[in-house]
Amino acid sequence: MSTLVKKIVVVGGGAAGWLTAGTIAAEHDARGETGVTVKLVESPDVATIGVGEGTWPTMRMTLSRLGISETEFIRQCDASFKQGTRFDGWRTGAVGDRYYHPFVLPQGYATTSLVPSWQALRDQVSFANAVCPQSHLCERGLAPKQSSTPEYAAVVNYGYHLDAGKYSQMLQKHCTDVLGVQHTLDHVTGINAEENGDIASLSSKQHGNIEGDLFIDCTGFASLLLGKHYGIPFVSRKDTLFIDSALAVQVPYASTDSPIESQTISTAQSAGWIWDIGLSSRRGVGYVYSGQHASDSEAEAELRRYIEPSMGKDAESVSFRKIAINPGHRQEFWHRNCVAVGMSAGFLEPLEASALVMVELSAEMISEQLPVTRETMDIVARRFNEKFCYRWDRVIDFLKLHYILSERSDTDFWVDNRDDKSIPGSLRELMTLWERHYPVNADFSQIDEVFSAASYQYVLYGMGFETVPGPATRRSLPDDESDKLFKENTEKTRKMLAGLPSNRELINRIKESGLRAA
């Protein structure tokens, strides 16, 4: 007899737990007739991680699918608009060393590439500035839309900066009030197995046994179900990505109308890099570093130097929150009737804010492929594992790319990062290809790659990489066609610079009068 999969139990009430519970509840109508129920169990004794403030543009679709108003999201989560990342000091560390990885695609990207034509101009204009308007908008702190642009629509592609604590609270309220997710505040103390090894139920301190058909492990670094109960090995990637520690701090704005940066700023340091994220209410700043290359006190001193221009004397006494990071992921993510999402599945330094997008992608696939019966679950599990093992590898390659292109030799951290032994073979292979042709989507095997070839282009050419095409490579664009595309970009940029409000202005207007519903 087939066993229907109807009771979904999510363990953990951080961003991963609520996003996954909400996505499944919304798509499977957890308050309607389908019979699917979604229960989220969250420990009152274990705090959520409470950091993680940068998202991808995918978050717009995710929030919209959950039925959350963008206006309410921006108001409740102190959110602001993010249009990419600016990397300061990554290439040489010299004054003025900076480049952008924006969210928009280069002009003409769908049918051609401006890379070869830009290479002839590389001493005059940066790649991002030549091929898209977004780096110009970021330079001036402009918003990606107007106050008349409807919710979730964009003039240029954007994601968000948000307050992680407020974000989880907002998701909790929406998921329970609107989407029918049942919320149990209790500490899970044990896991009870069926004879066949599936999880039958969870023991809890106050609610007895909590039964389910599918269990989603969103317990963060604890990885209670997949890691501790099933013992699925953790695959450390510290040999490639050295960052294993973080110091985080909140920095106030000088005044309520201080400008809000339109991008995450990532500034290279002696043993890692500092993130700087502008919310509407404050900045979130943190140093992620390699404990092999700097002591905690050295890292603290560097972070204090970074915030000193903004905080003055207070920078000397402010205390930092220390978070240990174990870079890597589980060997598989879906085992029997248990799947891990979020930090219980793995975590890597937040250089490209890839954690929440992996949560969104996991929640989407679980929800879309939700097995109707237990009999089909192992097939879905195998496919899920294949897809996400591939995705973790691609994220690791992309993060490592930022380091291997650096010319910095001022500390061992930067030198060690270029050591061949630390570079995955898949990335070395791509680098060899890209010496002779610019990145194209056909360089990758999946149609839904986490990072498109455009992202690789922005980082490679932003960091000064040169592609020297051989005689056999495809023809570059005729001059008149590339001129036309460059001009189109210049014109688009001019119009946007003239027509878009500042990030702060738009946020203020949304707080006052809201955005029009889509």
Report the interface residues with ligand FAD, using CB under 6 A. Answer: 11-17, 41-43, 46, 48-49, 51-55, 164, 187-188, 218-220, 222, 224, 246, 248, 286, 323, 325, 342-344, 350, 353, 355-356
User: Which CB sits closer to ligand FAD, 108 or 220?
Assistant: 220
Rounded to the nearest whole angstrom, what is the least distance from the CB of residue 349 to ligand FAD in the complex?
8
User: Which CB sits closer to ligand FAD, 144 or 327?
Assistant: 327
3-class secondary-structure state, position 15: helix
d(CA 37, CA 21): 10
User: Which CB sits closer to ligand FAD, 264 or 482?
Assistant: 264
Residue type, 61: M
Rounded to the nearest whole angstrom, what is the least distance from the CB of residue 486 to ligand FAD in the complex?
33
User: Which CB sits closer to ligand FAD, 68 or 343?
Assistant: 343
Closest CA to 352 of 314, 388, 400, 312: 400
In the block, which residue shows the tokens 């899970």?
188
Rounded to the nearest whole angstrom, what is the least distance from the CB of residue 128 to ligand FAD in the complex?
21
Rounded to the nearest whole angstrom, what is the least distance from the CB of residue 286 to ligand FAD in the complex?
6
Residue 247 burial by CB count (10 A; 0-12/13-18/19+): exposed, middle or buried? buried
Q: Which residues contact 280 (CB under 8 A, 6 or more apart)?
A: 74, 78, 79, 80, 260, 504, 507, 511
What separation, in Å, do the N-terminal and C-terminal C-alpha atoms of the chain show?
Answer: 46
User: Which CB sits closer to ligand FAD, 55 or 76?
Assistant: 55
Phi–psi pair at 22, nearest 5 degrees: -65, -40
Q: Tell how many helices (H) and how many strands (E) occur in the chain.
A: 16, 21
Q: What is the dihedral of CA 119, 120, 122, 124, to 10 degrees?
A: -160
d(CA 438, CA 434): 5
- What's CA 305's distance to the chain center, in Å? 27
User: Which CB sits closer to ligand FAD, 11 or 30?
Assistant: 11
Rounded to the nearest whole angstrom, what is the least distance from the CB of residue 116 to ligand FAD in the complex?
34
Report whether 466 contacts 127 (CB < 8 A).
no
Number of alpha carbons in the 13 Å side-chain half-sphere of residue 323: 24
User: Which CB sits closer to ligand FAD, 8 or 485?
Assistant: 8
3-class secondary-structure state, position 386: helix
User: Which CB sits closer to ligand FAD, 22 or 220?
Assistant: 220
Rounded to the nearest whole angstrom, what is the least distance from the CB of residue 312 to ligand FAD in the complex?
25
Rounded to the nearest whole angstrom, what is the least distance from the CB of residue 40 to ligand FAD in the complex?
9
d(CA 184, CA 500): 45
Rounded to the nearest whole angstrom, what is the least distance from the CB of residue 223 to ligand FAD in the complex?
9
